[in-house]
């Protein structure tokens, strides 16, 4: 599939039956709706086969170049005739392109752009203007990397963005969208001249549009489905601790601690609560109860209530906003001092993330594996792994909520409190079974326990040597127990 990734500039030339045309068009509609609705559950580098593994009918579009091309153009014909559907198709196809490109090596974005006649100057790594650790920096015009500029992810010099190779995918996605918009415009102008020839296709093309609207509308109304479990304000602390994704745990905890969140954090959290079922009155009540602990109630009513009502479409333009999805949070700006928004798996350093995972009961090995997964860019996969590790059954029925922060068990919002089973560690609890990283962690715990300035000279010479040995062994056992997450009495193998 990777070799077939393109900007779809050349229309299919082969003959095709109406049955195949219809079948492939409907498949692509479903695929695009799935990618849009379940985007938050996909890692940034997972291919469309991830969907195909669950829904076999998508496999053909993921592996067959002709089927992929034909189905793409079938939807172009359908949606170029509908002004309200034009943007949907461009956005959906761009998301699919981004998913497919994201699973390929970083250099493929540059190769693909070059094949489309789009080439950029490659700056040498020894350029004095660049950090010596940077490799593969491309000089991209400012207006072709606006997304990176918006989130301050690139250096700007003389009207050009200095884009590292790993971020060239964003530039490729920009060009794909612009190319598709131009081609849709050209096709829209050409379709009226082909009216008689396309007349017999009209019912089929209309069917694609109707199906897309039905599927997309179903996804957008999921959060409002009657009978769907709803987060209750009285249970929010328990649910936050047990079932929130890590980004929301952080926001909830800091709100409770500081009785305030800065703007980006407020937006991210209140939209999450909206998607979880909070009414506008519950949302105002929740934030008000915390904020008035540090500010007058009148100040909250004057400065904050309006923005909450605006998020629910009750003020201003009266647009009913949807919760931020994972891609928006991950690609958003990193939090500064005193801010707590964003994605911990994207914006936190490895030590801080690993410590936070351990605080939630994960074993050292599990915390290191998830941290490593996040460091490779698979932030959503790391988030899902964290969810699985903190719940009794990773195989339990899940539902992709429009909160889209992560996959969460919809039933968990009203489920009774449960205690996760303890994490699995080494089968034989001896030092010989520890990994190098675990040994380093044990040494770190020993250093914290004993203190960096402790030396043999500080030990009272009047203490019996055997007692000193026992005290040191106790310190060692405690350090090992903390790292390996097992009771001290289980470490009999290393006792004297």
**In contact, 142 and 149? CB cutoff 8 Å:** yes
Contacts of 23 (CB under 8 A, 6+ apart): none
Q: How many CB atoms lie within 10 A of CB 295?
A: 13
- Let me know if residue 56 belongs to a domain: yes
Burial class for 343, CB neighbours closer than 10 Å (0-12, 13-18, 19+): buried
Q: Please indicate, yes or no, whether residues 387 and 438 belong to a single structural domain of this protein.
A: no
Q: How many alpha carbons lie under 13 Å from residue 280 in its C-beta half-sphere?
A: 14
Q: Please indicate, yes or no, whether residues 251 and 378 belong to a single structural domain of this protein.
A: yes
Q: Please indicate, yes or no, whether residues 17 and 93 belong to a single structural domain of this protein.
A: yes
* Ranges under pLDDT 70 in the chain: 1-4, 37-58, 83-84, 124-135, 193-195, 216-229, 392-496
3-state SS class at 48: coil
Longest dimension (CA), the chain: 106
Q: Please indicate, yes or no, whether residues 120 and 190 belong to a single structural domain of this protein.
A: no
Q: What share of the chain is helix, strand, coil (3-state, %, to 5)?
A: 60, 5, 35
Q: Please indicate, yes or no, whether residues 209 and 138 belong to a single structural domain of this protein.
A: no
At 144-170, the pLDDT tens digits run 998 888 778 889 988 899 999 999 999
The continuous run of DSSP H or E covering 138 comes out as strand 137-141
Q: Please indicate, yes or no, whether residues 124 and 214 belong to a single structural domain of this protein.
A: no
- Let me know if residue 227 belongs to a domain: no
CA dist., res. 51 & res. 446, Å (int): 47
* Crossing angle of the two packed helices 65-79 and 83-102, in degrees rounded to 10: 160
- Let me know if residue 426 belongs to a domain: no
The predicted pLDDT at position 323 comes to 87
Q: Please indicate, yes or no, whether residues 319 and 391 belong to a single structural domain of this protein.
A: yes
- Give me the torsion for CA of 216, 218, 223, 224, rounded to 10°: 130
Q: Please indicate, yes or no, whether residues 249 and 347 belong to a single structural domain of this protein.
A: yes
Q: Please indicate, yes or no, whether residues 333 and 261 belong to a single structural domain of this protein.
A: yes
The predicted pLDDT at position 179 comes to 95
Both structure tokens of 153: 């992810």
3-state SS class at 141: strand
Q: Please indicate, yes or no, whether residues 99 and 210 belong to a single structural domain of this protein.
A: yes
Number of domains, the chain: 4
Query: Domain range holding 215?
Result: 2-105+173-220
Q: Please indicate, yes or no, whether residues 68 and 148 belong to a single structural domain of this protein.
A: no
CA dist., res. 447 & res. 449, Å (int): 5
CA dist., res. 212 & res. 79, Å (int): 10
Both structure tokens of 152: 């301050």
pTM beyond cutoff 0.75: no
- The alpha helices in 153-296, defined as continuous H runs, are 168-190, 195-198, 202-220, 236-243, 246-258, 263-275, 280-291
* DSSP assigned state of 122: E
- Let me know if residue 478 belongs to a domain: yes
- Let me know if residue 396 belongs to a domain: yes
Both structure tokens of 470: 């026992």
- Let me know if residue 148 belongs to a domain: yes
Both structure tokens of 106: 């970083």
Look at the alpha carbons of 123, 128, 131, 132 in this order and tell me if their dihedral is positive or negative. Answer: positive
The predicted pLDDT at position 60 comes to 74
**In contact, 215 and 33? CB cutoff 8 Å:** yes
The DSSP result for 428-455, as a single string, is S-SGGG--HHHHHHHHHHHHHHH-TT--
- Let me know if residue 80 belongs to a domain: yes
Cα 282 from chain centre: 27
Both structure tokens of 104: 């390929």
CA dist., res. 488 & res. 480, Å (int): 8
How is the beta sheet containing 137-141 ordered, strand by strand? Answer: 121-123, 137-141, 160-164, 155-157
**In contact, 409 and 399? CB cutoff 8 Å:** yes
Both structure tokens of 265: 């954090």
Q: Please indicate, yes or no, whether residues 38 and 147 belong to a single structural domain of this protein.
A: no
- Let me know if residue 422 belongs to a domain: no
Angle at CA of residue 384, ends 382 and 388, nearest 5°: 115
Both structure tokens of 181: 């918009």
């Amino acid at each position: 599939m990777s070799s077939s990734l393109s900007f779809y500039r050349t229309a299919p030339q082969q003959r095709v039956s109406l049955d195949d045309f219809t079948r492939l068009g409907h498949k692509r509609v479903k695929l695009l709706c799935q990618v849009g609705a379940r985007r938050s559950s996909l890692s940034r580098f997972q291919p469309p086969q991830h969907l195909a593994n669950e829904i076999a009918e998508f496999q053909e579009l993921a592996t067959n170049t002709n089927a992929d091309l034909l189905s793409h153009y079938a939807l172009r014909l359908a949606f170029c005739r509908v002004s309200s559907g034009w943007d949907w198709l461009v956005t959906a196809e761009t998301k699919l392109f981004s998913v497919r490109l994201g699973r390929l090596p970083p250099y493929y974005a540059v190769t693909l752009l070059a094949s489309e006649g789009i080439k950029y100057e490659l700056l040498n790594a020894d350029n004095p203007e660049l950090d010596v650790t940077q490799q593969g920096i491309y000089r991209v015009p400012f207006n072709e990397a606006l997304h990176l500029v918006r989130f301050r992810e690139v250096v700007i010099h003389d009207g050009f963005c200095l884009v590292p190779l790993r971020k060239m995918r964003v530039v490729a996605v920009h060009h794909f969208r612009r190319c598709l918009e131009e081609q849709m415009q050209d096709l829209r102008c050409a379709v009226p001249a082909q009216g008689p020839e396309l007349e017999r296709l009209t019912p089929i093309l209309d069917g694609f549009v109707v199906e897309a609207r039905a599927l997309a509308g179903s996804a957008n109304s999921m959060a409002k489905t009657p009978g769907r479990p709803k987060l209750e304000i009285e249970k929010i602390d328990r649910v936050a601790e047990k079932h929130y994704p890590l980004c929301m745990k952080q926001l909830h905890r800091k709100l409770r601690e500081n009785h305030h969140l800065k703007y980006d954090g407020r937006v991210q959290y209140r939209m999450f609560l909206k998607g979880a079922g909070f009414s506008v009155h519950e949302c105002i009540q929740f934030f008000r109860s915390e904020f008035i602990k540090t500010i007058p109630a009148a100040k909250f009513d004057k400065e904050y209530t309006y923005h909450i009502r605006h998020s629910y479409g009750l003020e201003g333009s009266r647009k009913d906003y949807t919760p931020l999805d994972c891609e928006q949070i991950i690609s958003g700006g990193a939090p500064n001092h005193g801010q707590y928004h964003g994605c911990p798996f994207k914006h936190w350093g490895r030590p801080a993330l690993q410590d936070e995972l351990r605080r939630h009961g994960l074993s050292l090995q599990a915390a290191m594996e998830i941290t490593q997964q996040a460091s490779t860019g698979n932030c959503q996969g790391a988030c899902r792994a964290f969810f699985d590790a903190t719940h009794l059954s990773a195989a339990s029925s899940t539902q992709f909520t429009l909160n889209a922060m992560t996959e969460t068990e919809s039933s968990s919002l009203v489920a009774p409190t449960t205690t996760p089973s303890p994490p699995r560690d080494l089968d034989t609890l001896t030092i010989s079974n520890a990994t190098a990283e675990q040994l380093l962690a044990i040494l770190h715990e020993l250093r914290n326990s004993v203190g960096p300035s402790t030396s043999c000279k500080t030990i009272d010479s009047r203490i019996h040597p055997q007692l000193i040995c026992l005290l040191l062994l106790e310190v060692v056992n405690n350090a090992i127990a903390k790292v390996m997450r097992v009771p001290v009495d289980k470490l009999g193998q290393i006792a004297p």
